[in-house]
């Protein structure tokens, strides 16, 4: 294979020498691609406008036998996602989304349905009312984890497999990979969550993203569901998702009270 054409999502870039950039892309057919965009650091580069995270592009790439990175031949923008790039809150979610993909997809293969899911999520990130973004992201995370084979175990206790009854306490363990009953939680580390939160998790895992456009689970539940990005995902990855903090930083900024704390 020498020249090939593919639709792709721009995930990240890094500088290469004085003039060039190495771009990481996600494609459906060719998995994660690393490619040199010649001259992309220059202002009048023909590639620079297209290789901006998280743009959806159509690229013609050259694959050489000798080196492991490809080279851009052409790059057209399908959708620049300016609605994300020009809005701080949406952009903070965009960074997080892109980092999840960067870290979960290691090789040259994208699992079936993942590319479509990411693309759908980007379009929704542009249009979904801001208040529904946390819920939308939780649903995306659960769907992505399902596709990757990392869906949290919610049918019963991970340890003893007993069904969780509504009247009993439920624990969620990022480390163990799902819920724990109250007796197993004594020997395993878990976080107390409400029965409702578990029901919402199941709902978000199974409901199409676009149906969540005006959804809220309520402040209490949404806070509980943060165990997914804050504990479950880092445990599956074996590392932190750095940009998660930025979502929180931006949320703090939105609230007036925290302004002085940030500045002083």
Q: What beta strand segments (E) does 85-132 contain? A: none
Question: Applying CB under 8 A, does 78 fall inside the site for another protein?
Answer: no
Rounded Cα distance between 251 and 258, Å, is: 10
Among 22, 26, 181, 233, binds Zn ion (CB under 5 A): 181
Residue 128 interacts, among Zn ion, another protein, none and using kind-specific CB cut-offs from 5 to 8 Å, with: none
Residue 155 interacts, among Zn ion, another protein, none and using kind-specific CB cut-offs from 5 to 8 Å, with: none
β-pair type (170-173, 56-62): unpaired
Residue 159 interacts, among another protein, Zn ion, none and using kind-specific CB cut-offs from 5 to 8 Å, with: Zn ion
Q: CA-based angle 184:154:219, to the nearest 5?
A: 100
Nearer of residues 23 and 135 to another protein, judged by Cβ: 23
Residue 45 interacts, among Zn ion, another protein, none and using kind-specific CB cut-offs from 5 to 8 Å, with: another protein
8 A C-beta contact, residue 188 and residue 159? yes
Helices and strands: H and E segment counts in the chain: 10, 8
Among 99, 159, 176, 224, binds Zn ion (CB under 5 A): 159
Residues 20-59: x where in contact with another protein by CB under 8 A, - otherwise, as a string: --------------------xxxxxx-xxxxxxxx-----
Question: Applying CB under 5 A, does 176 fall inside the site for Zn ion?
Answer: no
Rounded Cα distance between 228 and 225, Å, is: 6
Binding piece for another protein, criterion CB under 8 A, among 13-21, 64-72, 139-147, 164-172: 13-21
Residue 157 interacts, among another protein, Zn ion, none and using kind-specific CB cut-offs from 5 to 8 Å, with: Zn ion
* CA 247 to each of CA 91, 101, 174, 242: distance values in angstroms, whole numbers, following the listed order: 9, 17, 20, 10
Tokens of 228: 């997914």
Nearer of residues 83 and 177 to Zn ion, judged by Cβ: 177
The sign of the CA dihedral 146, 151, 155, 161 is: positive
Tokens of 165: 């009854």
Among 72, 95, 140, 172, binds another protein (CB under 8 A): 95
Residues 239-258: x where in contact with Zn ion by CB under 5 A, - otherwise, as a string: --------------------
* CA 162 to each of CA 13, 170, 180, 186, 197: distance values in angstroms, whole numbers, following the listed order: 47, 12, 9, 15, 18
DSSP secondary structure letter of residue 65: S
Nearer of residues 102 and 154 to another protein, judged by Cβ: 102
**Residue numbers at the binding site for another protein (CB under 8 A):** 12, 15-18, 40-45, 47-54, 80, 85-88, 91-92, 95-96, 98-99, 102, 242-243, 245-246, 249-250, 253, 256, 259, 262-264
């Amino acid at each position: 294979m020498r020249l090939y054409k593919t639709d792709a999502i721009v995930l990240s870039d890094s500088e290469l020498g004085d003039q060039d950039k190495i771009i990481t892309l996600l494609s459906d057919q060719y998995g994660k691609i690393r490619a040199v965009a010649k001259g992309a650091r220059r202002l009048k580069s023909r590639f620079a406008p297209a290789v901006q995270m998280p743009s959806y592009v159509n690229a013609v790439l050259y694959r050489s036998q000798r080196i492991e990175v490809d080279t851009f031949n052409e790059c057209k923008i399908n959708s620049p996602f300016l609605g994300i790039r020009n809005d701080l809150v949406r952009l903070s979610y965009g960074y997080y989304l892109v980092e999840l993909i960067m870290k979960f997809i290691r090789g040259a293969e994208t699992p079936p349905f993942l590319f479509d899911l990411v693309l759908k999520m980007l379009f929704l990130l542009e249009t979904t009312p801001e208040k529904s973004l946390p819920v939308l992201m939780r649903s995306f995370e659960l769907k992505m984890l399902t596709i990757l084979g990392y869906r949290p175990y919610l049918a019963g206790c991970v340890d003893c497999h007993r069904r969780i009854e509504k009247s009993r306490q439920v624990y969620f363990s990022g480390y163990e990979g799902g819920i724990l009953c109250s007796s197993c939680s004594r020997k395993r580390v878990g976080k107390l969550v409400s029965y409702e939160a578990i029901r919402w998790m199941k709902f978000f895992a199974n409901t199409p993203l676009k149906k969540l456009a005006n959804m809220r689970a309520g402040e209490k539940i949404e806070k509980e569901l943060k165990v997914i990005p804050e504990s479950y995902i880092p445990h599956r990855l074996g590392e932190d998702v750095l940009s998660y903090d930025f979502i929180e930083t931006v949320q703090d900024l939105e609230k007036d009270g925290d302004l002085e704390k940030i500045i002083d």
